[in-house]
Structure 1
Amino acid sequence: MDIKLLTDCPRDAVDRLLNVIHLFRDIRASSEWQYDVLLKRSRLVGLQPGEPLLNAGDVDQWVYFLLRGELQVHVEGERERLVSERPLAIIRPGELFGDLSMLLAEPRSATIVAAPTSRDTQVLGVDCTLFADLDDFSLLHLPTKLVFYRNMVHSLRWKLEVYRSKYPGHQLADSHRKLKLYTGPKNSREELSALADQARALARILLDWNAEFGSGQLVDDDPEVNDFLESMLS
């Protein structure tokens, strides 16, 4: 595993990379200083074919974005057998993952490895520890945490809508649509609490879907991401 801190990479290239990721783009639009705080908590991870990134049972607060290559999701089996097992799901470039464990503060339920045929797997990891305590604004302020949880809710609802479109008659199909939406004061602590509750509820519904069908959506590679990675790895 090859790990590079984003703070050790050329800033202009980093900015181009993060501008295609909604979370970073939205936080930077809100505050350049808050963007810098999150930048210091992020890293670029390179994986060899078949190398694990996450293991079932791990406990941490990292959320990831796959930038290049392909990842496989496995729910059981010894590590030496993972590369030969049929994966539960495939993660492709553009996908956010690891959010369920972070939101629910539970051990990771799956092992994620670079696909055996993926020769250039690159992942962006973000340490989201600072988002977990909703009452701590010493480093990340209220607007930044609101951006984070709005992004989490949007991402989870999108994944659930994909499941709903594939299995419209399933008993879980309308579960996320039945969750009560927040209608109180905007940009408030009350909204932050409501968004966090909604994200956790959506995460549990998505876990139920994943347990039955797996996960993974097709998203095309982004040329700006490829340009950044080529500059970092050349």
Structure 2
Amino acid sequence: MESKPLGDYPRDAVDRLLNVIHLFRDIRATSEWQYDVLLKRSQLVSLQAGEQLLNAGDVDQWVYFLLRGELQVHVESAATGKIDAAERPLAVIRPGEVFGDLSMLLAEPRSATVVAAPASRDTQVLAVDCTLFGDLEDFSLLQLPTKLVFYRNMVHSLRWKLEVYRSKYPAHQLADSHRKLKLYTGPKNCREELLALADQARALARILLDWNAEFGSGELVDESSDMFDFLESMLS
């Protein structure tokens, strides 16, 4: 596995790459210098087939975007307490998908191990250190508008994943759980909205964990893989 700061790549190539990721595009539209702050906290990770990216039990604040290739999600065997790479993965992550957000939002150890698929010879992942988003009262580096963009994106992504589960299992007891969460209706673009969005994101993350515990996330459809078709030569 090889990790490089985004600063090691040509800036125009990085800008084109991140323009197809909602979070970065929205933050850049809000503030160019806030976008630069986030770039300094981001890395491009390259993996060969079978290489491990995340390990169950790890605790960190990184969120990931798969750009190229395919990743597999594995959990420890109840019998051996180890990962069996030969077993069918719990889930498959495809280009365009966000992952690692549940652990970040809930400040809990990662529940699964993520590896590059055996047939995926050149997997690329954008890794973002989201430590700066965790402290909702600290605006020394990331300002209120930037944190609002982050949590709006997290809420949207989580609700989309939960709606996919609901469409597949409409009679399940969890099907309407996320729709019962109270939406924020107060003043916009303020600290109050930020706190409400963060609470909502954590509640949605908890519901998604419950879904994943029963079905895994492998059936979730890739919503934006077509956006990444041109990445083959982007950073070469």
For normalisation by structure 2, the TM-score amounts to 0.94
Among 128, 132, 135, the alignment partner of 2:134 is 132
Aligned runs of 1:64-143 on 2, under 5 Å? 64-77=64-77, 81-143=83-145
Answer yes or no: is the 8 Å Cα contact 1:93–1:221 preserved in 2: yes
How many positions carry a matched residue from both structures?
A: 232
SS of structure 2 residue aligned to 1:63? strand
* Pair 21,157 (structure 1): closer, same or farther in 2 beyond 3 Å: same
In the aligned structure 2, how far is the partner of 1:79 from the partner of 1:41?
A: 34
Give the 5 Å matches for 1:1-234.
Answer: 1-77=1-77, 81-216=83-218, 217-219=220-222, 221-222=225-226, 225-233=228-236
1:230 corresponds to which letter in structure 2? S
What CA deviation, in whole Å up to 9, does each residue of 1:126-184 have, x standing for no partner?
00000000000000000000000000000000000000000000000000000000111
**Letter matched to residue 160 of structure 1:** L
Does the aligned pair in 2 maintain the 1:49–1:114 contact within 8 Å?
yes
Q: In 1, distance between residues paired with 2:181 and 2:225?
A: 33
Using the alignment, how far apart are the partners of 2:184 and 2:15 within structure 1?
33
Distance in 2 (CA, whole Å) between partners of 1:164 and 1:38 is: 33
**Amino acid in the other structure paired with 1:6:** L
Are the equivalent residues in 2 in contact too, given 1:16–1:228 (CA < 8 A)? no
* Displacement of 1:7: 1.1
Asked whether the 8 Å contact 2:4–2:44 carries over to 1, the reply is: yes
2:2 alignment partner AA: D
Once the two structures are superposed, residues 31-52 of structure 1 have per-residue CA deviations (whole angstroms, 9 ceiling, x without a partner) of: 0000000000001101111111
Q: Quote the Cα distance in structure 2 between the aligned partners of 1:60 and 1:105.
A: 8
CA 1:32–1:174 in 2, change beyond 3 Å: closer, same or farther?
A: same
Structure 1 residues 48, 82: closer, same or farther in 2, change over 3 A?
A: farther
Question: Aligned partners of 1:202 and 1:194: how far apart in 2?
Answer: 12
Question: What is the alpha-carbon distance in structure 2 between the residues aligned to residue 79 and residue 62 of structure 1?
Answer: 25
Q: In structure 2, what is the Cα distance between the partners aligned to 1:221 and 1:132?
A: 28
- What is the SS of the residue equivalent to 1:3? strand
SS in 1 for 2:225: coil
Gap change, CA 1:231 and 1:155, over 3 Å in 2: closer
Which residue identity is paired with 1:91?
I
TM-score with structure 1 length normalisation? Answer: 0.95
Q: How far apart, in 2, do the equivalents of 1:195 and 1:136 lie?
A: 16
Mind listing any 5+ residue stretches in structure 1 that lack a counterpart?
none
Among all aligned residue pairs of Structure 1 and Structure 2, give the percentage whose two residues are the same amino acid. 81
Coordinate RMSD, CA, aligned? 1.6
